[in-house]
Structures are given as C-alpha cells and as structure tokens.
Amino acid sequence: MKIFTLRIYKSPQNIEMREKIWKFMPFWEIILDNNEKILGRYNQKYFTEQKIGEIIKKNYEQEIKQGHNLTIRLSKKD
C-alpha cells in the first residue's frame, strides 16, 4: 500500500496566493500572546464557534499549560 503525502512549500508564490484567498474568505484566527504569532486559521463556513473551542482544547493544550494566552479573532464580520 502506497501512502501519498501533500507538501505545501512556503514559496513566495504560495504565500502570495494564500494572502489573496484570506482577504476574501472569512476565517477564525487563533493567536498566541497578543498578536505575537498566528497558530491557525480556520474557515468560518466549515468551523463553528463550538468546533473552534474543541480544536483549541485538543491542539493547543500545551500552549495553555505553559501559561500563554490564546485569542480567537474573526477576519471579517458577517
């Protein structure tokens, strides 16, 4: 059995394309310590507030235990 992996390289073209998409798509941003670092972006169409809470509990548990503050920010208001 062969497993395929998709690698997204951080080339300037990929970064530019992502920035263009993010301007038009509403998403949730999870931010570490007052705008220091963006940990994740999640599309608002597919992720509810409740689901974002679950994601934070599971994926960012170590950051919370280390005493970091996590903020959830909306990219656009509906």
CB 7 within 8 A of CB 16: no
Q: Please state the domain count of the chain.
A: 1
Tell me, yes or no, whether 55 lies in a domain. yes
Q: How far is CA 60 from CA 29, 33, 77, 78, in A?
A: 13, 13, 25, 26
In a domain, 1, yes or no: no
Q: Check residue 10 and give its pLDDT.
A: 64
- Of the candidates 75, 69, 67, 61, the residue with the CA atom closest to the CA atom of residue 28: 75
Q: What is the rounded CA–CA span in Å between residue 41 and residue 30? A: 6
Average pLDDT of the segment spanning 6-20: 64
In a domain, residue 9? The reply is no
Q: Determine the pLDDT at residue 9.
A: 57
Least confident of 12-26, 38-52, 64-78: 12-26
**For range 6-35, the mean pLDDT:** 72
Range of the domain at 53: 27-74
Residue 6 lies in a domain: no
Q: Is residue 32 part of a domain?
A: yes
In contact, 30 and 56? CB cutoff 8 Å = yes
Residue 64 lies in a domain: yes
Residue 19 domain flag: no
